[in-house]
Structure 1
Amino acid sequence: MSHVTDSASSAALPQRVPPQRVLLVTGLLGAGKTTALRTLEDLGWEAIDNFPLRLLDRLLEPEPGQSEADGDATPLAIGFDTRTRGFDPQAVIAKVKALAARPDLSVTTLFLDCGGAELERRYNETRRRHPMSEDKPAAGGIAAERDLLAPLRRWADVVISTTDFTTNDLQQAIRQQFASISPSRTTLTISSFGFARGTPPLADLVFDMRFLNNPHWDDALRPMTGKDAPVGDYIRRDPAFAEAYERILGLLLLLLPRFETQGKAYVNIAFGCTGGRHRSVFMAEQIGQGLRDAGFSPTLLHRNLSARTASLLEGAQAVQV
């Protein structure tokens, strides 16, 4: 009886709302803050650069009448540096400590560092003047800025040095550090199509299924599609099917995580046969299920499955295959 009572009581409790993730991005000018924020934006974060720090409390306050449960779950990345209005390292630290104490916020600070010689090279290459150097060489402004930012660097949760980084290296580092808490993954689409109507223009990977035995030439199977069990049984009996399926699935399981690590937002995989009704449809369905079993969430599209002329096109062209 007590177990039932406890369950009923716990069911009545409100669901705990995950805290709003906030990432504060700062560091030396020229160390890559803009690149970091753009990469976070590609990962699904809402990014704001050079936001006035005195308004940070107001930005993170819920709107009037809005409960915590109604809050926006999109992670927020806020960039600031020595040029930001009201910049004061000690004041920033005090403000962030106060925000981190709030139960509805999860606050992290990222500091981007870079060696002085490399920063000088970057300023000389772009012909930009360091904001703190005035009429002096860039080295003086960089040294002054480093001294000013020292408390923030010591206090930051994450420090990334970009001295030896290319732009792509920094993008990779940001993805590796923060992709796991981003709201979305690569959007994966698997499609089938008929070569008789052309290759999909946006396909990243195209697999030609015309090496498999063609169900079109079986009178009983011709009206069916690759979604029908008799067609699937027919294709599975092809000696090449099992090995082809395993090799294609293995290749995709190798490539897809790397595409995601590289920040590729969309991956389109297309399977083609002559008319787009039998072999390509069946293989797309099988690979889609294999990827679901591996933890992916593909969307399946069959471009020519409902085309009235697909069967005629297949009959006309399969003679050449």
Structure 2
Amino acid sequence: MRLVIVTGMSGAGRTTALKVLEDAGYFCVDNLPVPFIDKFAELTASGNSEITKVAIGIDIRSGKSLGQLEQVLEHMTMEGISHEILFLDASDEVLVKRYKETRRMHPLAESGRVEQGITLERERLAFLKKQADYIIDTSQLLTRELKQELDKIFIQNREFKNLMITVLSFGFKYGIPSDADLVFDVRFLPNPYYYENLRKLTGNDQEIQDFVMGYDMAHVFLDKLEDMLLFLVPNYVLEGKNQLVVAIGCTGGKHRSVTLANKLYERLQKQADYGVRLEHRDIGKDAARGK
């Protein structure tokens, strides 16, 4: 039997994860009282049970009994009941934004301040994150992207390393992304903007891609960037990093940066051990401004 404990920060996607697992054939139970978890696991793990895949949702609503969970998990291990822990996380800024958008109260925000509730929740869930087999940071993920990552782990049974790489194109004139870990400037490449027939196109169009990649230095840049990332990423994983934003910028974030971000994304996707997503932050801003 495969038993997954689904937990994490409130607002990080735990409910979505349980729905995905349920659709994948997992028997899902949400917010089961902590003292009942090992008994439930024993029943489903017995030879008389037809259940082969189980997911149990646990969150901060467990209250004081959450402190007993560590002992419960240890007892299950001693009894030979193997389990995996999936921890959904997100940055404080993103969690605050999500709560404000939904106008929900954080379960620990007794004073009404979401920030205080998040801080307290992180403290109480720290032991679970430390023991987690899978940590997925959903700060930059769309719902469909989270579903894809869960599909890789729990349906395709692919090896998972706790890192999501976001390849992000942007325009320097709109500011460097505040969440970028690595920033690369590709304004050294010739700019398609100065060609009337190319100006309104983007790096998603073949004509722009042919123009940008028609220069040898674009290929050299990609080769060196890929080589550096293949060196850095395993070391980031060893240090416990689970979110890496690689930002590639040009002047307007429409032509050169989009092209190279697309090409880098294609290369990194071949590294199946890590989650990779693509985002073009400023691709439509020039058009919106009539340029």
Q: TM-score range by the shorter chain?
A: 0.5 to 0.7
Counterpart residue number, 2:209? 232
AA aligned opposite 1:298: V
The yes-or-no answer on 1:106 pairing with 2:82 is: yes
SS across alignment from 2:248: strand
Unaligned runs of 5+ in 2: 9-13, 15-33, 59-67, 85-126, 135-152
Cα distance in structure 2, aligned partners of 1:240 and 1:183? 34
Counterpart residue number, 2:41? 60
Q: How does 1:96-175 map to 2 (within 5 A)?
A: 99-100=79-80, 105-106=81-82
The yes-or-no answer on 1:286 pairing with 2:252 is: no
Relative distance call for 1:283 and 1:62 in structure 2 (3 A) is: farther
The yes-or-no answer on 1:71 pairing with 2:92 is: no
SS across alignment from 1:258: helix
Match of 1:304 among 270, 282, 290: 282
Relative distance call for 1:74 and 1:186 in structure 2 (3 A) is: farther
SS across alignment from 1:293: coil
TM-score, normalised via structure 1 length: 0.48
Cα distance in structure 2, aligned partners of 1:56 and 1:302? 43
Q: Residue 262 of structure 1: CA displacement?
A: 1.4
The yes-or-no answer on 1:257 pairing with 2:240 is: no
Once the two structures are aligned, what percentage of the paired residues are identical?
Answer: 27
Unaligned runs of 5+ in 1: 1-17, 23-37, 39-43, 45-50, 109-170, 313-321
Cα distance in structure 1, aligned partners of 2:260 and 2:289? 18
The yes-or-no answer on 1:242 pairing with 2:219 is: yes
Aligned length in residues: 187
Match of 1:274 among 236, 243, 251: 251
Q: Residue 298 of structure 1: CA displacement?
A: 1.2
Cα distance in structure 2, aligned partners of 1:230 and 1:195? 23
The yes-or-no answer on 1:20 pairing with 2:3 is: yes
Counterpart residue number, 2:179? 202
AA aligned opposite 1:305: I
Contact 1:185–1:260 at 8 Å: present in 2 too? yes
Relative distance call for 1:107 and 1:197 in structure 2 (3 A) is: closer
TM-score, normalised via structure 2 length: 0.52
CA RMSD of aligned residues (A): 4.3
Contact 1:21–1:106 at 8 Å: present in 2 too? no
Deviations 1:164-206 (A, max 9, x none): xxxxxxx9xx89x967999762122111110011000000001
The yes-or-no answer on 1:221 pairing with 2:193 is: no
Cα distance in structure 2, aligned partners of 1:209 and 1:68? 54
Relative distance call for 1:283 and 1:229 in structure 2 (3 A) is: same
Contact 2:166–2:278 at 8 Å: present in 1 too? yes
Contact 2:4–2:55 at 8 Å: present in 1 too? no
SS across alignment from 1:234: helix
SS across alignment from 2:269: helix
Relative distance call for 1:243 and 1:71 in structure 2 (3 A) is: same
Cα distance in structure 2, aligned partners of 1:96 and 1:207? 46
Relative distance call for 1:56 and 1:272 in structure 2 (3 A) is: closer
SS across alignment from 2:216: coil
Relative distance call for 1:62 and 1:217 in structure 2 (3 A) is: farther
AA aligned opposite 1:299: R
Task: Please say which structure displays the higher CA radius of gyration.
Answer: 1
Relative distance call for 1:57 and 1:214 in structure 2 (3 A) is: closer
